[in-house]
Chain A
Amino acid sequence: MPEPVQLTTFGVTEIEAQQALDRVKVRDVEYADLYFESRTSESVSMEEGIVKRAAKSVSQGVGVRATAGEKTGFAYSDELTKRDLEIAADTARYIANSPKGHSNVPVPTQRRPTHDLYPIEGAKAEVATAERVALLNEIDAEARRYDPRIKNVLASFNTEYKVVVVATSDGTLVSDIQPLSRLQITCIAEDGENRQVGSFGGGGRVAFAYYREDNRHLGYAREAAREAILNLSAVDAPAGVMPVVLAGGWPGILLHEAIGHGLEADFNRKKTSAFSSLIGKRVASDVCTIVDDGTIPFRRGSLNMDDEGTPTGCTTLIEKGILRGYITDKLNARLMGIPLTGNGRRENYQSVVLPRMTNTFMLAGVSDPHDIIRSVKKGLYAVSFGGGQVDITNGKFVFSASEAYLIEDGQITKPVKGATLIGNGPEILTKVSMVGHDLKLDNGIGTCGKDGQSVPVGVGLPTIKVDEITVGGTQR
């Protein structure tokens, strides 16, 4: 168990924090919190065979928030003096109808998060820039060795070391240290006039040693190179409605876009989601059970606690096709009278808390992945994707394949160029007819954007068959 981080790390005493909370929590304010954050980010990147860029950024500050009814008052400051806390407190409480009244904020008691999901010591250990440079150099060599048609390798290694302390008006004072890193590789392949791209990456809340275990970094390099070379021979993608088999792992982005965002409590409280009032209703076929689980050790989307100090959990979103629950933060759980799931997240001290996903995935089914492919006469087998997006209100979502193949008479045949798949969130999972026994979580590359805030997330999927979805290619 990590030792709790003391507020004095931020140059603030517990009494000052308590006084700031007292100041925010006037009578009309139901809840207030202070979020102290210090973040150090480092990156090295390589292109054209040389590691030419290194960067480091340090930021520190506090976000002060008050909620009253549906209202949120929020202020933040990168200065942490008593005076700055007071100014922020006065701004945050502006949403109260009256700045009066006294409420006794209990003295916060320092506690540790209940989970211990990631290696603080390993992440804290300084890794010399030279070691990161060596890692990228080996990646460059490996990708070029894979095939002489690889003409450029772009690779970057990013780490983040984040220390947070949350003090709340309900008497909690809790801290966490959240390491995060990611290795990303893009290869450009050229064959005459034909130029293609392939990407691969991974990471998580892991220490540097993770990337060298079993030469994982070289495996990433070969994957990126393989995808780029494969795309040199890709044919134009088909257009229209057809069966699509999604491979396990990162294609779980389907769940994130099609249903995950739609089940975030804020949209449902406001009744702006296509899933509003569908709890207890069928939204997927009975082979689909989907969870959001923030407690898987070392995963990119995992957290010991959310950004309101609530321990993360595993929430069943869809059970055998029936919509079971939403993911919540304190504000929305309180207003909707539903359980708090530990999904209150924020990008940094400068942003407000929103209900957000952690690691969202479908549980394994019983089908053999080969049988799933064999069951398709003419369709698409999609293995890897770029990004996706959803319109919460009408439920329409898209996600774009970066590696895909035609399936013809039950066989995987030609690779096809990237194409966007488009569907309707509340409908698409009712068309899932087979779920493989091969659940895979993604490698740790996902970043989810909502309301201008980015947070790291994970997804996962077994091989599944979607009986019909619109594929946005160019060929009839």
Chain B
Amino acid sequence: MLEKTTMPTSANGYAQLAADVLARAKTCGATEADIVVADGETFSVQVRVGAVDRLTKAREKRLGLRVFIGKRSATTSTSDFSRASLDRLVADTCTLAGAVVEDDVSGLPEVGHMATEQPDLDLFDSTVLDTDTQIDWAKRGEAAAFATDPRVTNSEGAEFDSSSGRVVLANSHGFVGSYKSSNFSLSVSPIATESATGGMQRDAWYQVQRKFARLASAESIGQEAARRAIRRLGARKVATKRVPVVFDQETAGSLLANVCSAVSGYGLYKRASFLLDQLGQTIASDLITIYDDGRMVGGFGSRPFDGEGLATRKNTIVERGVLKSYLLDTYSGKKLGLPSTGSASRSVGESPSVGPTNFYLVPGMKSQQEIIGSIKEGLFVTELIGFGINMVTGDYSRGACGFWIENGELAYPVEEITIAGNLKHMLKDIDVVGNDLVFRGRIASPTVKISEMMVAGN
């Protein structure tokens, strides 16, 4: 028979729970420990061709514990907060920690380094939407896509999601931190059909906001999604050749995500990054300046403290092409002989890793139209698929679709092609950065142009 307890309803309740678990870990032999408690509510509705397709609602909670016995450590998690379950968890964690090998650099951050203030970064909106309102948002988004053009004939659906949650982090140094956050999002995925051939193309558009009131209209999202699907109709392959390649904001964001992985302390100390030993060196064109700002008000990646309880901050990662900083937590920092950059990310059941907060490329001067207008023949990439990136070597080869550029104009849509190069060279070959930076997630980039890449097709 399982023992049941009711969930604490405040961060204070969780702080007490955390204190109890930490105390218990000490009695089991832990020399240091930290604990993360996360809970939240999610609602999701998917509408397809005008009718509700799927409706999901849930409330969930999870507790993660990390203990150190001297220089040995282990991490565990559970969704069962009953006393019996937590006692078992603590005992299991200490047993596990006893079974691994000592790791000299393991441990919590130093006591004096813990975050002392926890600014309100405006990440939470208490708006509670009723089910019908959320269904209506999804329906209006999809209907707008259908209304945009008769070639929109089908739909993968429109989805409205709302979620809110709370994170509490506490450790045996006495640190206790917590914050709440929320997200509201709408995505629309229409399918357009070319009447002559029956060929179908799908595309999607979405928006996410921390505040419900900031969402643009459902109609504007649906219309943009439809425009993106329709413009892909009639896509063809092109001949294999080297040409300039323009990445739109979304695909440029994926390049930036590759840079983010490459500067992660974990990849670096494992010698698994193409940016190894490059601190202070020129790794990109001088048009490239990249920041990771954990304190941006209302930002998608903002948090008052990181996954270890250290203060977040604005880090300069690349400045005019020179690699200025890695992203580090305490552990990966020690491995590399550097202090933490306040970049620890923590999922409940795992030991800390490193992750971006608001990681972005500083915009340049040119509009996307001007960039495309400057190219005689080239490729404008709007979608990338596949996993053809080798983070150790930087070798890059991915499936792409987008548009062929002829004489400064988008001439026709293209698909079933790949673009290939090496990230080390691609970063240096960025010769234009657009002026169109928009934050739609934790990693954001304006349009960028790479002077030349190999496009493989026919």
Residues of A whose CB lies within 8 Å of any CB of B are 10-11, 44, 47-48, 50-61, 69-81, 91, 94-95, 128-130, 133, 151-152, 154, 186, 188, 190, 195-197, 237, 239-241, 270-272, 274, 350, 352, 386-394, 396-400, 417-420, 422-424, 470-476
Contact = CB atoms under 8 A, between A and B. Distances in A.
Contacts of B390: 197, 417-418
Interface string B30-68: 000000000000000000100111111111111000000
A161 to B, nearest CB: 14
B228 to A, nearest CB: 13
A74 B54 contact: yes
Interface stretch (B75-83, B166-174, B253-261, B289-297): B75-83
Nearest to A421: B418
B336 to A, nearest CB: 13
Interface of B: 1-2, 4, 7, 48, 51-62, 73-80, 85, 89, 92-93, 95-97, 99-103, 106, 131, 154-156, 191, 199-202, 232, 235, 237, 240, 270-272, 276, 349-351, 385-388, 390, 392-393, 395, 397-399, 401, 415-422, 454, 456-458
| Most chain A beta-carbon contacts within 10 A, residue among B54, B95, B102, B418 | B418
A470 B455 CA distance: 11
Contact of B4 (A81, A387, A472): A81
B59 A77 contact: yes
Contacts of B99: 54, 128-130, 133
Nearest to B422: A474
A236 to B, nearest CB: 9
Contacts of A53: 73-75, 100, 351
A394 B55 contact: no
A398 B418 contact: yes
A394 B156 CA distance: 13
A79 B156 contact: no
A227 to B, nearest CB: 12
Contacts of A391: 202, 385
Contact of B456 (A54, A75, A239, A397): A239
A420 B78 contact: no
Given A11-B2, A55-B75, A188-B392, A471 B96 contact: no
Contact of A473 (B48, B51, B420): B420
A70 B57 CA distance: 18
Given A56-B74, A240-B240, A420-B399, A272 B56 contact: no
A389 B387 CA distance: 8
B50 to A, nearest CB: 11
B386 A387 contact: yes
A342 B401 CA distance: 35
Given A74-B56, A81-B4, A474 B387 contact: no
Contacts of B457: 240-241, 470
Given A57-B78, A423-B416, 7 more contacts: A52-B100, A55-B74, A71-B53, A71-B55, A76-B56, A76-B60, A94-B55
